[in-house]
Amino acid sequence: MGHFHVVEHFISINGEGRKAGQLAYFVRFAGCNLACEYCDTKWANEVGVSYEEYDEQEIYKMIKDAGIVNVTLTGGEPLVQKDMMKLLMLLRKDDSIQVEIETNGSVDIIPFLTEKAGYREDKEDNITFTLDYKLSVSGMEQKMCLSNYENIRSRDTVKFVVGSREDLFRSKEIIEKYRLVDKGCGIYISPCFGRIEPKEIVDFLTEQKLNDINMQLQLHKFIWNPEQRGV
């Protein structure tokens, strides 16, 4: 059995991404290998944070008992949980659930697309990755695993949180360098809360004529207090 450190689990709506506005069951893991300046879940990454320990069977039971089809594994950084392979192996056996892994883009996703993690090339994967490319506003861009953007699949997603016009141009550069539009993956640009006006993103998309790219606001920060947990 694996061991997972879970700081919270709850039902809410997806605040962003391809399934924004849809119900999802969230499992938030403790700990992260980055320290982004704008992180809104720093509390989950602190040494000594309170967590409950579960094995993969217990997490799967929580998911099934919730009765929600969409599942979001988040953090922290879920892919640094040492037994994540075991959990993905189990979740991939159940095609009735759709699992999104929110990862910070610094961890190589390829090991999680192998037989050891239950992945089969002859079967449509019920697990998708949402890669968060960290721009200068995060202070963590140097930590990005760039091979992820070579290997991303059409069912996966890349999101960019921007805080300046420079971040917008860097997003465009990454999108073009790794031919993300051609790969058919979801591409989302969101404003860093309080750092840039959404209108500036729309103006940039218009000015640069960027097709197939989505500007998105984080819904949960408009519905609830941006600091509220469990939503």
In 3-state terms, the chain is what percent helix, strand and coil (to 5)? 30, 25, 45
Report pLDDT for 16.
86
State the Cα–Cα distance between residues 13 and 152, nearest whole angstrom. 25
The mean pLDDT value of the chain amounts to 94
How does DSSP classify residue 62?
H
As beta bridge partners, residue 187 has 158
State the Cα–Cα distance between residues 27 and 25, nearest whole angstrom. 7
pLDDT beyond 60 at 93: yes
Question: Hey, CA dihedral for 31, 35, 39, 40, is it positive or negative?
Answer: positive
Report pLDDT for 220.
66
Q: What is the CA radius of gyration of the chain?
A: 17
- Which residues contact residue 211 at a Cβ distance below 8 angstroms, ignoring those fewer than 6 apart? 181
Strands 52-54, 4-13: pairing kind: antiparallel
- Which residues contact residue 196 at a Cβ distance below 8 angstroms, ignoring those fewer than 6 apart? 162, 163, 164, 167
Report pLDDT for 145.
98
pTM: 0.94
Mean pLDDT over 149-177 rounds to: 97
State the Cα–Cα distance between residues 130 and 26, nearest whole angstrom. 14
